[in-house]
Amino acid sequence: MKVTRRQFASGFLGTGVLLGLSACSNAVSTSAPDTASFSPTPVATTGRLRKLVLEARPAQVDLGGRVVTTWAYGDSIPGTMLRATAGDRVQVAFKNNLPVPTSVHWHGLAISNAMDGVPGVTTSETPAGGSFDFDFVIPDAGTHWFHPHHPMQLDRGLYAPFIVDDPHEPGAYDTEWILVMDDWTDGVGTSPDQILAQLLAKSGGGMGGMDMGGMGGMDMGADGGDVTYPLYLVNGRAPSDPQTLAAKPGQRVRLRIINSSADTIFTVALAGHDLQITHTDGYPIQPVSTASLRIGMGERYDAIVTLKDGVFPFVAEPLGKLGIARALVRTGGGAVPAASFKPSELTGEPLTVASLSAAAGTALQPREPDTTQDLALGGGMANYEWTINGATYQNATPLTIKAGQAGRLRITNATMMSHPIHLHGHTFQIGAAGGTGPRKDTVLVPPMGAVNVDLVADNPGKWMVHCHNAYHAEAGMMTRLDYAT
């Protein structure tokens, strides 16, 4: 069955077509919006309704021998994983048991704008003690995640995977492991709100230069991010007490790797193994083998590995910062390497987005852009302000496009740091010289570098475009792409 792409359930009946949603008792017939020349891409639906529940609340979590109080989805970090199949209608009953208002953004799900979870733009904030019923159809499979669209809450424990299975997945693997990396300070070092206050105070000129002595604080602001963290985690565990992932030698494992950090780019590797990278941000790529991989905040990569016999750390090394995060893969006997062990796979140049191409059938139709727009990234540490096209979000003029148009964003970076730029509600295609770059929703733009991305305006609304460094987003590096049907 085909339905209009991405419109949410209560209004997604196409002209004169009644959808037989078996589990959907309250489907009502409405007329399709006037789409004039705009014809949305159809979505194959499964006809299935999934009812999910999610709660945000204060929680005590064990980081591996160290119990901290933080905010989480449920009682662990990462929080409660949600899972569905592409084409499912999903209802998430969300309850906010935090002492403050919050929001939930479904990062990577190109769903209807009203469900996008950006307070003040798409979806109202959920007050302390309040609840919100999300209701959307998921168009695309992939490794996705969710978090508050309140950046300083993201730097606490509020993040979790959202895995969307492909109904046509060939499934050529024996098992699957989800690996979520995070940079951690809450309850160990300075709180995210205090760090932000220090960064902003520094820009005022008076309060700068506090040395946090590795307890969570300001960093140099080069490519290593703006904040030093006392801990880096894989699946909520410190490197001294990592999670063990057990399997048998010879098994093929699908790794779903998510960087949920606020301020840390990682290079990842599995000791003794090559990673065959198969997807990024949910979309298939031409598979490519690598010893190590660079992953920015908000990005996801899937990889297949065939396991050897023994004990092998999966290590995530923070770019430009001290320490590591890790999990342990165990398929046989052997001693566990020291908590600081870095596999030799991390010594070479990591794979980056620049050498990836879209898998056959997933590229956008080749098409000259109807509109080309600039997204110039600026700002710096001296005056703690980060901008797009010279303005912070408060003063930004949103980009616009017309529904149905092909658009190109020319992203340029005039700063000394990488910025992971994320667009809501769409996947774009990375421009590649002489080829077809991967489909993604988040792209690392290198220091003093540039990236062109192409998109089709097939999901009308007000869509955030921003840096996924939580501190940069909070300090202004956000704008929007707005269009109506």
Residue ranges binding ligand C2O (CB under 6 A):
105, 107, 147, 149, 298, 422, 424, 464, 466, 468
Closer to Cu ion at the Cβ: 59 or 467? 467
* Paired residues of 91 in beta bridges: 51, 135
Q: Quote the least distance from Cβ 117 to ligand C2O, whole Å.
A: 9
- Binding at 318: pick from ligand C2O, Cu ion, none (beta carbon under 5-8 Å per type): none
HSE-CB of 469 using CA atoms within 13 angstroms: 27
Closest separation in Å from C-beta 121 to ligand C2O: 10
Query: Per residue in 416-449, is it b (16+ CB within 10 Å) or e — as a string?
Result: ebbbbbbbbbbbbbbbbeeebbbbbbbbbbeeee
CB of 469 to Cu ion, least distance (A): 4
274: tokens are 């090559």
The nearer residue to ligand C2O, 107 or 440, going by C-beta atoms, is 107
* Assigned token pair, 59: 């929680």
Q: How many residues comprise the chain?
A: 485
Task: Identify which of residues 163 and 329 has a Cβ nearer to ligand C2O in the complex.
Answer: 163
The C-alpha atoms of residue 435 and residue 353 are separated, in whole angstroms, by 13
Nearest to 65 by CA among 239, 241, 215: 241
User: Cα(121)–Cα(113) distance, rounded to whole angstroms?
Assistant: 9
Report the partner that residue 466 touches, choosing among ligand C2O, Cu ion, none (CB closer than 5 to 8 A by kind).
ligand C2O
- Least distance from ligand C2O to the Cβ atom of residue 283, Å: 16
Amino acid present at 42: P
424 binds, among Cu ion, ligand C2O, none (CB under 5 to 8 A by kind): ligand C2O
CA–centroid distance for 133 within its chain = 22
Residue nearest to ligand C2O (CB): 107
What secondary structure, in 3-state letters, does 367-431 show? CCCCEEEEEEEEEECCCEEEEECCECHHHCCCEECCCCCEEEEEEEECCCCCEEEEECCCCEEEE
Give Dmax over CA atoms of the chain in angstroms: 65
The DSSP code sequence of 241-252 is: S--EEE--TT-E
Partner touching 6 among ligand C2O, Cu ion, none, CB below 5 to 8 Å by kind = none
Per partner kind, with CB cut-offs from 5 to 8 A, the member of Cu ion, ligand C2O, none near residue 467 is Cu ion
> Closest approach of Cβ 301 to ligand C2O, in Å?
16
Question: Rule CB under 5 A: which of 117-156 touch Cu ion?
Answer: none
Are the C-beta atoms of residues 232 and 316 closer than 8 Å to each other? yes
Which residue, 120 or 333, is less far from ligand C2O as judged by CB? 120
Question: What is the total count of residues that contact Cu ion (CB under 5 A)?
Answer: 4
Q: Which helix (H) or strand (E) holds 473?
A: helix 470-474
Closest CA to 393 of 450, 462, 447, 446: 462
Contacted by 422, from ligand C2O, Cu ion, none: CB < 5 to 8 Å by type: ligand C2O
298 binds, among ligand C2O, Cu ion, none (CB under 5 to 8 A by kind): ligand C2O
- Rounded to whole angstroms, the Cα distance separating 262 from 68 reads 18
The item of ligand C2O, Cu ion, none sharing an interface with residue 256, based on CB under 5 to 8 Å by kind, is: none
Contact call for residues 270 and 305 (beta carbons, < 8 A): yes
Reported as type and span, the H/E element at residue 11 is none
In the complex with Cu ion, the residue whose CB is nearer, 351 or 467, is 467
Q: How far is the CB of 463 from Cu ion (least distance, A)?
A: 18
- Minimum distance between the CB of residue 259 and Cu ion, rounded to whole angstroms? 14
Q: Nearest distance from residue 444's CB to Cu ion, in Å?
A: 10
Residue 472 within binding range of Cu ion, rule CB under 5 A: yes
Tokens of 222: 């080069």
Q: Work out what residue 326 binds among ligand C2O, Cu ion, none; the CB cut-off runs from 5 to 8 Å by kind.
A: none
CB of 49 or CB of 258, closer to ligand C2O: 258
Give the three-state DSSP class for 202. Answer: helix
Q: Which does 105 bind (CB under 5 to 8 A by kind): Cu ion, ligand C2O, none?
A: ligand C2O
Nearer to ligand C2O, 159 or 483 (CB): 159
The DSSP symbol for 447 reads: T
Answer for which of 137, 467, 470, 475 binds Cu ion (CB under 5 A) is 467
Beta carbon of residue 423, minimum distance to ligand C2O (angstroms, whole number)? 9
Residues 398-427 that bind Cu ion (CB under 5 A): 419
The entry of Cu ion, ligand C2O, none that residue 107 binds, CB within 5 to 8 Å by partner kind: ligand C2O
Q: Does 469 bind Cu ion (CB under 5 A)?
A: yes
Tell me the two tokens of residue 323: 């320490």
Q: Which is nearer to ligand C2O, 86 or 104 (CB)?
A: 104
Any alpha helices (H) in 76-191, and if so which ranges?
Answer: 151-154
**Whole-number minimum distance, CB 399 to Cu ion, in Å?**
18
**Nearest distance, CB of residue 50 and Cu ion, angstroms:** 34
Tokens of 307: 């396991």
In angstroms, rounded to a whole number, what is the distance separating the alpha carbons of residues 8 and 5? 9
Alpha helices in 169-313 (DSSP H): 192-204
Q: Which is nearer to ligand C2O, 105 or 273 (CB)?
A: 105
For the CB of residue 464, give the shortest distance to ligand C2O in the complex, in Å.
Answer: 5
Q: Which is nearer to ligand C2O, 156 or 202 (CB)?
A: 156
List residues binding Cu ion (CB under 5 A). Answer: 419, 467, 469, 472
